[in-house]
């Protein structure tokens, strides 16, 4: 098992600065503490139904909603589900966690690229 305080720094050939090591450890600790993470995007949508005589087809239209629409990629296709107010309240932190997780991964990747680019062994 890898030490939490020293993520990936057991390799003596690379030389992250103390600040880079500290940031990587902080990112790893935050990821470890995140909890569940739901992928996809949330949007509140107003819609029209299929009944031509409905108020949503009137002039001016009175659309249905707003509905909490959750969209994500599933097996290469777009999957859409509608969340109830209760579900939105329960799962909102999970969507927030996923957004934070993506940001932390992007920062860890950028940090790692900086360290790798500083490696003196590259042959141009």
Nearest distance in Å: CB 54, Zn ion: 3
Using the rule CB under 5 A, give the single segment among 56-64, 66-74, 80-88, 116-124 that binds Zn ion.
56-64
Cα–Cα distance measured from residue 54 to residue 110, given in angstroms and rounded to the nearest whole number: 52
54 binds Zn ion (CB under 5 A): yes
Size of the site for Zn ion (CB under 5 A): 3
Q: Which stretch binds Zn ion (CB under 5 A): 17-25, 29-37, 54-62, 85-93?
A: 54-62
Interaction of residue 63 with Zn ion, rule CB under 5 A: no
CB 41, CB 96: distance < 8 Å? no
- Nearer Cβ to Zn ion (13/53): 53
Q: Which stretch binds Zn ion (CB under 5 A): 30-38, 50-58, 79-87, 96-104?
A: 50-58
49 is an interface residue for Zn ion by CB under 5 A: yes
Cis? peptide before 66, omega within 30° of 0: yes
Residue ranges binding Zn ion (CB under 5 A): 49, 54, 56
């Amino acid at each position: 098992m890898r030490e939490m305080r020293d993520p990936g720094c057991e390799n003596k050939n690379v030389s992250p600065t103390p600040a880079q090591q500290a940031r990587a450890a902080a990112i790893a600790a935050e990821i470890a503490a995140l909890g569940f993470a739901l992928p996809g995007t949330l949007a509140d949508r107003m819609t029209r139904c299929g009944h031509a005589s409905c108020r949503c087809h009137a002039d001016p239209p009175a659309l249905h909603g707003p509905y909490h629409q959750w969209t994500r990629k599933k097996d290469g296709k777009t999957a859409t589900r509608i969340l109830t107010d209760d579900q939105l309240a329960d799962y909102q932190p999970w969507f927030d966690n996923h957004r934070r997780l993506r940001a932390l991964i992007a920062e860890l990747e950028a940090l790692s690229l900086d360290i790798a680019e500083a490696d003196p062994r590259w042959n141009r």
